[in-house]
Structure 1
Amino acid sequence: MTEKLQKVLARSGYGSRREIEAMIGAGRIRVNGKVAQVGERIDADASVRIDGHEVVIKSESSVVCRVLTYHKPEGELCTRKDPEGRPTVYERLPRMSGARWVAVGRLDVNTSGLLLFTTDGELANRLMHPSQEVEREYAVRIFGEVTDAMINRLKKGVQLEDGVAQFDTIKAAGGGEGMNHWYHVTLKEGRNREVRRLWESQEVQVSRLIRVRYGDIKLESGLPQGGWSELDLEQVNELRAKVGLPPEDKSFIDPRHQESKQRKFAKIRRATSKRKDRLREAQRVNKNKRK
């Protein structure tokens, strides 16, 4: 039985399907000694190399689907490595052997809030794909006067440089001072900087942007910025069912040793504080080296 190369590599934890297709297009992947093609099918005995390094092909039964929620701070990049030494979201995640974390979508450097990571690239692909219509919710602080006419246009659809876009819902959230006002907005796609560009099309400015929900997964109250929390088996399977994937039967979380949220988040805050200190020191060293 053969399967598509990008599906196999996504399942094996080498990236989302989109990331792998980009690697194939760049000629970075070889199958049985030949440069791979997008859509190519392989069998279980195929020899696959990425950037010259042989990769381990995993069967569906051998992959444990893990999912993390991560509270991204402003200033972190959604990339694995930054040539300028700036902090990335991957630096704070737990290390693994034989697998790697795949981000479900991205947040730009000035946006904070909920990011999902998984070891299952197929799950990441489906959660991001527009056909699944997985809803994202953002808390957004707007600087400028917002009128009913603006809100109607944003819900009906406005023309951006990459096509028509719109919010599904817009709700005033109160708070803010002077010309700053908070709103909660939802939409079912994740184009680059889409929330900001939609508001800016109405000649107002986004002064703060926080993703608070992805599908049914919410940014947990008490999870500190820079902290992560792993979903239990029931939560993972609810997420998988939402995008038509079969249930998982294995988990890294032992339900017999579950901690209270208060205790768990206290540990996360301590670990996050120590990591912040290490990152600041690394950034200081990198800055001195560039001088």
Structure 2
Amino acid sequence: MTEKLQKVLARAGKGSRREIETLISQGRVSVNGDVAHLGDRVTGKEQIRVDGHMVETQPEGEIICRVLAYHKPEGEVSTRKDPEGRPTVFDRLPKLQGSRWVAVGRLDVNTSGLLLFTTDGELANRLMHPRHEIDREYAVRVFGEVNEAMLQRLRKGVMLEDGMAKFDTIKYNGGEGMNHWFHVTLKEGRNREVRRLWESQEMQVSRLIRVRYGKIELPRNLPRGGWAEMPLDQVNYLRNEVGLTNEEQSKVDVHATERYKQVAQIRKAVRKHNSRVKGEGAGAGAAAKKPAPARARSTGQRQKRKTRL
């Protein structure tokens, strides 16, 4: 059975079908060493390259659509590799054989919160496309005096450098002094859109956390740097939202308790990453409640560090 080349590459996470059609028309895709053309069909067993790089593909029926909810910390970049050597959101994810995790959009380096990953590139591309209008909710802390006129402008629409933008909803969530928390929603995922909207009103964003994507909320018990695999009903909710058929298989053990399902993987992923962070020992010492003599404090730090590693 053959499929259109752009469909196979979209499933592999190389872009939307339209984006891949552009790559093909530019001569940047090859099949078994020959330059590909629009309309080509493949089985998925061929040697397919994009810009000279081999693409790992699988037949549609062999791929189980899996989705991870990841609690991104501040300081991680949403790319597979960073030329500056910064940690990436892919560093902590579980390893796969025969497929790879595709990020559903991005969060900038200073933004934390919910980031979705899937093994289905077509699902990722559809979820990111603005025509499906899947709303995202953010908790945002701004510094300064916020008045009703500002909020009305943010609801009505503000002209940014890349076009009009607005929040669909804005809800005040408390604060102290000049710091105020709001929960805002929008249906687009443009670069730094939430920050730029607030900055258009001369407000400074000091914290930004994505707490929801569609009906998928950031799990309350998921630590920063931890991931949790979604059960089949949530996977199919996302697929139905973008017009894809239901997935019938799942890697999640439906007979296990929530704690048993995820705690071991979460701890392993977070521990692996934290062991590479420099200066961890100093941070552990600062967390102590009471000062101690130099020798005792040093011993305590060594014990804490040994436990975490």
Which interval holds the TM-score relative to the shorter structure? 0.7 to 0.9
* Match runs of 1:188-203 below 5 Å: 188-203=187-202
1:120 corresponds to 2:120? yes
How far, CA to CA, are the matches of 2:251 and 2:18 in structure 1?
Answer: 26
How far, CA to CA, are the matches of 2:161 and 2:24 in structure 1?
Answer: 28
How far, CA to CA, are the matches of 1:77 and 1:18 in structure 2?
Answer: 25
How far, CA to CA, are the matches of 2:66 and 2:161 in structure 1?
Answer: 36
SS at match of 1:186: strand
Kept in 1, the 8 Å contact 2:141–2:179? The answer is yes
Change (3 A) 1:25 1:183: farther
Hey, what does 1:162 align to over in structure 2? 162
How far, CA to CA, are the matches of 1:19 and 1:89 in structure 2?
Answer: 26
Shift of residue 233, structure 1, vs aligned partner: 1.2
Change (3 A) 1:156 1:36: farther
* Partner AA of 1:68 in structure 2: L
CA RMSD of the aligned region, Å?
Answer: 2.6
Hey, what does 2:208 align to over in structure 1? 209
Shift of residue 243, structure 1, vs aligned partner: 1.1
Hey, what does 1:267 align to over in structure 2? 264
Kept in 2, the 8 Å contact 1:138–1:210? The answer is yes
Change (3 A) 1:28 1:170: same
SS at match of 2:181: strand
Shift of residue 199, structure 1, vs aligned partner: 0.5
Shift of residue 212, structure 1, vs aligned partner: 0.3
Shift of residue 270, structure 1, vs aligned partner: 3.0
How far, CA to CA, are the matches of 1:16 and 1:255 in structure 2?
Answer: 32
Hey, what does 1:76 align to over in structure 2? 76
* Partner AA of 2:81 in structure 1: K
Shift of residue 9, structure 1, vs aligned partner: 1.5
CA deviation vs aligned residue, 1:21-54 (integer Å, no higher than 9, x gap):
38668865312423446x5542326541245454
* Partner AA of 1:139 in structure 2: A
SS at match of 1:79: coil
Shift of residue 59, structure 1, vs aligned partner: 2.5
1:279 corresponds to 2:279? no
| Gaps in structure 2 of 5+ consecutive residues | 281-309
Kept in 1, the 8 Å contact 2:118–2:124? The answer is yes
How far, CA to CA, are the matches of 1:171 and 1:25 in structure 2?
Answer: 46
SS at match of 1:149: helix
Percent identity (aligned):
62
Change (3 A) 1:246 1:221: same
* Match runs of 1:222-233 below 5 Å: 222-233=221-232
Greater Rg, structure 1 or structure 2? 2
Shift of residue 281, structure 1, vs aligned partner: 5.2
* Partner AA of 1:276 in structure 2: H
Shift of residue 232, structure 1, vs aligned partner: 1.0
Residues paired across the two proteins, number? 278
CA deviation vs aligned residue, 1:187-224 (integer Å, no higher than 9, x gap):
00100000000000001111100000001100010100
Change (3 A) 1:282 1:84: farther
Shift of residue 279, structure 1, vs aligned partner: 2.4
Kept in 1, the 8 Å contact 2:226–2:267? The answer is no
Hey, what does 1:286 align to over in structure 2? none
Kept in 2, the 8 Å contact 1:14–1:20? The answer is no
Kept in 2, the 8 Å contact 1:139–1:210? The answer is yes
Kept in 1, the 8 Å contact 2:159–2:165? The answer is yes
Hey, what does 1:180 align to over in structure 2? 179
How far, CA to CA, are the matches of 1:105 and 1:173 in structure 2?
Answer: 26
Kept in 2, the 8 Å contact 1:158–1:198? The answer is yes
Kept in 1, the 8 Å contact 2:10–2:17? The answer is no
Kept in 2, the 8 Å contact 1:156–1:166? The answer is yes
| Gaps in structure 1 of 5+ consecutive residues | 284-291
CA deviation vs aligned residue, 1:232-274 (integer Å, no higher than 9, x gap):
1121111111111100111111212x2234x556435532442
